[in-house]
Amino acid sequence: MEVGSVTMSSSSYPPILRFVSKLAPFAASLVLLLILNAPTSTEAFDSLDPNGNITIKWDVMQWTPDGYVAVVTMFNFQQYRHIQAPGWTLGWTWAKKEVIWSMVGAQTTEQGDCSKFKGNIPHCCKRDPTVVDLLPGTPYNMQIANCCKAGVISSFNQDPASAASSFQVSVGLAGTTNKTVKLPKNFTLKAPGPGYTCGLAKIVKPTKFVTQDGRRTTQALMTWNVTCTYSQFLAQKTPTCCVSLSSFYNDTIVNCPTCSCGCQNNNTQPGSCVEGDSPYLASAINGPGKYSYQPLVQCTSHMCPIRVHWHVKLNYKDYWRVKITITNFNYRMNYTQWNLVVQHPNFDNLTQLFSFNYKSITPYGAAINDTAMLWGIKFYNDLLMEAGPYGNVQSELLFRKDANTFTFDKGWAYPRRIYFNGDNCVMPPPDAYPWLPNASPLSKRPFSLRVRVFWMVLMGLLLFV
């Protein structure tokens, strides 16, 4: 996939494709299909955010007669993947027979068997506690900073100030010095489903805390870190979004591929979707699955909760304009703080963007600048409402043409890939892209100088070998 993504992000379709298309038109579309549809979801890591991770930090703040009090903080260092409702679930296994006497800003989902305790009963006696965040509106005496957001954590690019979540835990039957404490093992992070893999806890330099006036620094008695990384392959989710395309130069609207996110099947899965005008809509929304956030989608051919539409809208002399519309087909979800990652070679010259925020993502340094993260403006369109009349957000992008690369030919004007909330969207097959009038997708173009040089060099190398 590395080869594929690097190739596709060069200024145009790779020269080799043009060459092949001259020789064998059908082979060209096959190669294109293979490159564009390569299963990015099987990547072990995300090539657009290679260092993205969630780091869980334990700061021991105080020793107690039988253990310690620690503040646990999760930092989301991922550029565009956030944790949305119903929020994170954190688990681990104690190394010895530790118990949790109390927690502030979070709670364990089960208390477990505390029957051997008399008098004071611990908050949790399980060897493998499972912790969830508290809800907003928790009484102040049960809160600490960065807690109580129902487990929602922003992505680092969107809102670094909300990209962390904390709670405090008071541990008993544990070591009481930095030599005798045994680190918890086997961390699991669910967000809320699978997808994250956490490494071993490692002792790191104790965190330093600076007071608000900046005049005093304190430090944790002991600190350890755990790093968790996401893989869409591990998440094994069915796709959650798809892409449709259209253009001013061709009336065809290329819809999302049929069954992108599942198929309509009332025989095996009755009620897997609901018509927008169904009289039973309200009862279906409140039916089973309401509290588990299970999507309830409007019946469409693609069955995706999210569709991203890319419309090539206008062609000026020096610029061209694209309209992006994101539509929500899920009746059970308001997507708060949604984001989009779009890869297109012309993002190196984005001139203007209307009503979305923008940040360039350059995973390979300055060399490739073809990927952008787009997200809503706070209080204006950062909430993508549930399916229905308000369930969409849109924006227009104005790109400056680079005469060397710009073309409406061969689907160049369409995005190479799109992520919604960090999940890869299903693209239509490239041979279905809208054509230029009087052109076929395999139409020939005279070789440009660059291409000719490329081939001369390649031939030279081949001869040399």
Are 210 and 216 contacting, i.e. CB atoms less than 8 angstroms apart?
A: yes
Smallest distance from the beta carbon of 126 to ligand NAG, in angstroms? 11
Smallest distance from the beta carbon of 439 to ligand NAG, in angstroms? 7
Smallest distance from the beta carbon of 87 to ligand NAG, in angstroms? 14
Smallest distance from the beta carbon of 220 to ligand NAG, in angstroms? 9
Residues 6 or more apart from 211 whose CB is under 8 A from it? 217, 218
- Here the tokens at position 264 are 């309509």
Q: How far is CA 2 from the centre of its chain?
A: 19
Residue 69 DSSP label: E
Residues 6 or more apart from 345 whose CB is under 8 A from it? 9, 10, 11, 12, 370, 405, 412, 416
Site residues (vs ligand NAG, CB under 6 A): 51, 53, 55, 57, 75, 77, 91, 93, 128, 178, 186, 188, 203-204, 222, 225, 227, 250, 252, 254, 264, 266, 270-271, 274-275, 278, 299, 332-334, 348-350, 360, 362, 366, 369, 385-386, 400, 402, 432-435, 437
Nearer to ligand NAG, 150 or 385 (CB): 385
Smallest distance from the beta carbon of 428 to ligand NAG, in angstroms? 9
Nearer to ligand NAG, 214 or 270 (CB): 270
Residues 6 or more apart from 215 whose CB is under 8 A from it? none
Smallest distance from the beta carbon of 338 to ligand NAG, in angstroms? 13
Q: How far is CA 409 from the centre of its chain?
A: 31
Nearer to ligand NAG, 137 or 139 (CB): 137
Smallest distance from the beta carbon of 33 to ligand NAG, in angstroms? 14
Nearer to ligand NAG, 142 or 194 (CB): 194
- Here the tokens at position 424 are 């890869």
Please report the DSSP string for 134-165 in residue order. PPTT--GGG--TT--STT-B--TTT-GGGSEE
Which residues on adjacent β-strands are paired with residue 195?
A: none
Preceding omega of 239 cis (within 30 degrees of 0): no
Task: Report the distance separating Cα 131 and Cα 310, nearest Å.
Answer: 41
Nearer to ligand NAG, 102 or 264 (CB): 264
Smallest distance from the beta carbon of 278 to ligand NAG, in angstroms? 5
Residue of 1, 44, 78 whose CA lies nearest to 231:
44
Which residue do the tokens 């806890």 mark?
201
Task: Report the distance separating Cα 427 and Cα 408, nearest Å.
Answer: 18
Residue of 426, 361, 308, 360 whose CA lies nearest to 41:
426
Smallest distance from the beta carbon of 423 to ligand NAG, in angstroms? 19
Are 325 and 309 contacting, i.e. CB atoms less than 8 angstroms apart?
A: yes
Nearer to ligand NAG, 26 or 117 (CB): 26
Given its phi and psi angles, is residue 427 left (phi above 0), alpha (psi -120 to 50 degrees) or beta? beta
Nearer to ligand NAG, 320 or 433 (CB): 433
Smallest distance from the beta carbon of 379 to ligand NAG, in angstroms? 12
Nearer to ligand NAG, 128 or 159 (CB): 128
Nearer to ligand NAG, 271 or 288 (CB): 271
- Alpha-carbon distances of 46 from 22, 229, 305, 431, rounded to whole Å: 34, 9, 22, 26
Task: Report the distance separating Cα 24 and Cα 429, nearest Å.
Answer: 19
Nearer to ligand NAG, 101 or 331 (CB): 331
Smallest distance from the beta carbon of 456 to ligand NAG, in angstroms? 25
Helix, strand, coil % over all residues of the chain, rounded to 5: 15, 35, 50
Task: Report the distance separating Cα 88 and Cα 76, nearest Å.
Answer: 12
Smallest distance from the beta carbon of 61 to ligand NAG, in angstroms? 14
Nearer to ligand NAG, 238 or 252 (CB): 252
Nearer to ligand NAG, 118 or 317 (CB): 317
Residue of 165, 162, 134, 135 whose CA lies nearest to 228:
165
